[in-house]
Chains A and B, each alone.
Chain A
Amino acid sequence: MLDPLFKKSLTDLRGQVLGWGIGIGFMLALTVALYPSISVAYADVMDQMPEGLMAFLGDDISLDRLEGYISVEFFSYAPVIVAIFAILAGTSSLTGEVTEGTMDLLLAQPLSRVRAATMKLAALVAANVAMLAIMAVGLWVPLAFIDVDAAHLRIVHAFVLLIPFMVAVAFASSLLAQLLGSRMFAGTMVAVVLVASYILEALGNLNSTIGAGRPLYVTAYYQGRQALVSEIEWSYLVTLVLAVPVLAAITVVVFDRRDVGANGLVRLPRLWPKRSTSALS
């Protein structure tokens, strides 16, 4: 029998899971369905593409195969797109319940904070997996109707590798929201880091100095593109997989030790002066 808090937390996310899963799944279905008709034209485009742009997109582009096509058309930017879902879900899980004022009632029940946090994080994992599963349906349904050779196992890998990436982003967002005491601020910070990483990782293909910083770029740890068109870099994947339990443990420990309902644990410096209230005094 499912833990009631896990079930409730997962149910809270069902609208987001369905919305994002169906939306991105539909986009994927359309992308795959168009492949047979545009694959020939794509080959011509590739022949005429400037070397710099080719490098920006990555060295392993092979648009004459479906894997190469969806690698460029979807999985190249997938980590940033699906991370938005992970950020929203992550920031709303624990801090959301605190800011909405329902955490007091929840933690007044005979359950430990560790169990509460663990169930919330477990629901985040399940929601991310469910969202990816819905997306995957969007990719495979049109494949049943078009005559294209596809390396199904590589595509499965690309999807499966999104799971630790999304979960790590969700956990990091949840942790940061607790530390800062603000869902919006935490979500914005994670999103900025992701977009900056994505841009720097792409520019790293053009510039060796920027490329040398690749281990610092968060999006580099998603190895889905490599799984589709080349080989996985195991050091990145292992680091990502190890990051998930570490982030989960830190999130649970921070939640267990903090004052519930108080401000964030990190006090940020004020960037602009407090608005004057002299008119009221």
Chain B
Amino acid sequence: MSQIPVAAAAVNEQTSANGAAIEFVGLTKRYTGDHLALDSLTLSVPQSSVFGYLGPNGAGKTTTIRLMLDLLRPTSGSVSVFGVDCNADGPAIRGRIGYLPGDLNLYPSFTGESMLRFFGALRENHIRWDYVRDLCGRLDIELDRPTRELSHGNKQKVGIVLALMAEPDLIILDEPTNGLDPLAQHHVMEILREVSARGSTVFFSSHNLSEVEGICDQVAIIRRGRLVAVERVEELTSRTITRVRMTFAAAPAADAFAGVGEAREIRRSDGGRLIELEIAGEVDGAIKAAARHHMVSIETERPSLEDTFLAMYEEGPSAEEGEDA
């Protein structure tokens, strides 16, 4: 990529009075056909934080993001970014936002480089191309091939660079590591930590709990268009259920794990030798209880976020939750 002079930065430095990067106030979206995708969302996202926005499919995550970008118009309520209503001055706000859609589509005939140059030109080249080159190098992006020839993961990498290239104050990522190999996921998380450390706010939608745990300061959980909880990540983690499958040389007593913290025996098979436990919070008590017996093997499984929802709210997903609205 050839050198392009850095143009003078002309970003609007306006911020909200209470230091929030994003403020949702009673934001509601009802689609034609009376489908309520988002119901009175009121939420504040602190500046310079990494904020996870979590929920099962169809919960309303993508709708929320598209309302922020003024791609959808709210039925009622408002959303403001850095103190400015997204409907009132969309272009100025979007000049401070980098966005990765969940369902990323690139121009098929464009190469990775022409995609970056086109979107750079739309931002009037307020781009540090050295930084863009560095990002491309770290993510190992093939810039000279038409995007139609790229794998899903490689397209996703181009999309991530498109979101980050203008060094925006707010980065909105909808399932950013979708389709990436573990190494690329690691690099993306590393880059997001760096941009957050430099003061950018990252609004991050994901299904992946380990990803959320690794990077987010705070999370909001949404379900059926309603905000269910806003929590620090540590609080969410402490409520996470871990599944443990242990095989013993001889079957432990039926009450071997009774009264052990938050452990709950969910299945016993193979003559009582194979025991499956669900443990909420720390696993220390259950492991110590198991250590009293001759254990042959142990497997642990970190449940998906969906499983965590089921455990947290003790009800299954609604049949209404089809597509990700």
Q: Which residues of A contact B (CB under 8 A)?
A: 4-5, 8, 100-102, 104-113, 115, 257, 259-263, 267
Is B97 interfacial (CB-CB < 8 Å)? yes
B123 touches A104 (CB 8 A): no
Q: Mark B66-108, 1 if CB is under 8 A from A, else 0.
A: 1001111100000000000000001110110101010111110
Known A112-B91, A262-B72; contact A5-B106, beta-carbon cutoff 8 A: no
Binding site for A on B (CB under 8 A): 31-32, 66, 69-73, 90-92, 94-95, 97, 99, 101, 103-107, 118-119, 121-123, 159, 162
Q: Are B122 and A105 in contact (CB under 8 A)?
A: no
Beyond A104-B99, A262-B32, 7 additional pairs, beta carbon < 8 A: A4-B121, A4-B122, A8-B107, A105-B106, A108-B71, A259-B71, A263-B32
Instruction: Tell me the smallest distance from the CB of A209 to a CB of chain B, in Å.
Output: 42
Task: State the CA gap A107–B122 with chains docked (Å).
Answer: 10
Give me 25 A-to-B residue pairs in the complex whose CB atoms sit less than 8 angstroms apart, sorted by A's number.
Answer: A4-B122, A101-B101, A101-B103, A102-B107, A104-B69, A104-B71, A104-B99, A104-B101, A105-B105, A105-B119, A106-B122, A107-B69, A107-B71, A107-B94, A108-B94, A111-B94, A111-B122, A259-B31, A259-B72, A260-B66, A260-B71, A261-B72, A262-B32, A262-B72, A267-B32
Give chain A residues whose Cβ lies under 8 Å from the Cβ of B31: 259, 262
Chain B residues near A104: list those with CB within 8 A: 66, 69, 71, 99, 101, 105
Given A105-B162, A108-B94, A112-B91, the answer on whether A261 and B105 have CB atoms closer than 8 Å is no
Q: A-B pairs with the 6 shortest C-beta distances?
A: A101-B105, A110-B95, A4-B121, A108-B99, A109-B122, A260-B71
On chain B, the residues within 8 Å of A115 by CB distance are: 91
Give Cα A109 to B123, complex, Å: 7
| A110 and B105 contact, Cβ closer than 8 Å, known pairs A262-B31, A262-B32 | no
Known: A102-B106, A261-B71, A263-B32. A109 touches B90 (CB 8 A): no
Q: Which residues of B contact A106 (CB under 8 A)?
A: 122
B107 to chain A, nearest CB (A): 6
**B94's contact among A102, A109, A262, A263, by CB below 8 Å, is which?**
A109
- In the complex, what residues of A have CB within 8 A of residue B119's CB? 105, 109
A112/B90 in contact, CB under 8 A: yes
- Of A4, A100, A104, A260, most B-chain CB atoms within 10 Å: A104
Task: Specify which chain B residues have a CB less than 8 angstroms from the CB of A113 in the assembled complex.
Answer: 90
The residue on B at minimum CB distance from A103 is B71
Q: For B105, give its contact among A5, A102, A259, A262 (CB under 8 Å).
A: A102
> With A and B bound together, what is the CA distance between A87 and B94 in angstroms?
32
Residues of A within 8 A of B72 (CB): 259-262
Q: Chain B residues with Cβ under 8 A from A102's Cβ?
A: 105-107
Contact A261 B90 (CB under 8 A): no
Instruction: Kindly report which residue of chain B lies nearest to residue A260, judged by CB atoms.
Output: B71
How far apart are the CA atoms of A261 and B103 in the complex, in Å? 12
Question: Do the beta carbons of B122 and A5 come within 8 Å of each other?
Answer: yes
| Beta-carbon contact of A100 and B105 below 8 Å | yes
B105 → chain A, closest Cβ, in Å?
3
Would you give the shortest CB distance from A30 to chain B, in whole angstroms?
32
Question: Are A4 and B91 closer than 8 Å at their CB atoms?
Answer: no
The reply to whether A110 and B118 form a contact with Cβ atoms under 8 Å apart is: no
CA distance in complex: A112, B121 (Å):
15
A115 to B99 alpha-carbon distance, docked (Å): 20
Within the complex, which residue of B73, B97, B105 is in contact with A108, where a contact is CB–CB below 8 Å? B97
Q: Could you tell me the distance between the alpha carbons of A56 and B210 in the complex, rounded to whole angstroms?
A: 75
A262 cross-chain contacts in B, Cβ below 8 A: 31-32, 72
Residue in B91, B103, B104, B107 whose beta carbon sits within 8 Å of that of A110 in the complex: B91
Give the shortest distance, in Å, between A142 (CB) and chain B (any CB). Answer: 35
CB distance from A11 to the nearest CB of B (A): 9
Nearest to A102 among chain B residues (CB) is B105
Contact A110 to B106, CB < 8 A, known contacts A259-B73, A261-B66: no
Bound-state Cα–Cα, A146 to B101, Å: 59
Rounded to whole angstroms, the CA-CA distance of A108 and B71 in the bound complex is 8
How far is A108 from B90 in the complex, measured between Cα atoms in Å? Answer: 9
Nearest-neighbour CB distance to chain B for A213, whole angstroms, equals 36
Q: Judging by beta carbons under 8 Å apart, are B162 and A110 in contact?
A: no
Q: Do A111 and B91 contact each other (CB < 8 Å), given the known contacts A4-B122, A8-B118, A104-B71?
A: yes
Contact B101 A105 (CB under 8 A): yes
Distance of B129 from chain A, by nearest CB (Å): 16
Chain B: CB-nearest residue to A106: B122
Please name the residue on chain A nearest to B90 by beta carbon.
A112
Distance between A256 CB and nearest chain B CB, rounded to angstroms: 10
CA gap between A79 and B162 in the complex, in Å: 42
B32 touches A110 (CB 8 A): no
Across the interface, name the chain B residue whose C-beta is closest to A259: B72
Complex interface: chain B residues within 8 A of A107 (CB): 69-71, 94
Q: Complex: how many Å from CA A62 to CA B91?
A: 57
Residues of A contacting B92 in the complex (Cβ-Cβ under 8 angstroms): 110
**B-side contacts of A259, CB under 8 Å:** 31, 71-73
The smallest beta-carbon distance between A16 and chain B, in angstroms, is 13
List chain A residues, Cβ under 8 A from B97.
108
Bound together, the chains give a CA A106 to CA B72 distance in angstroms of: 14
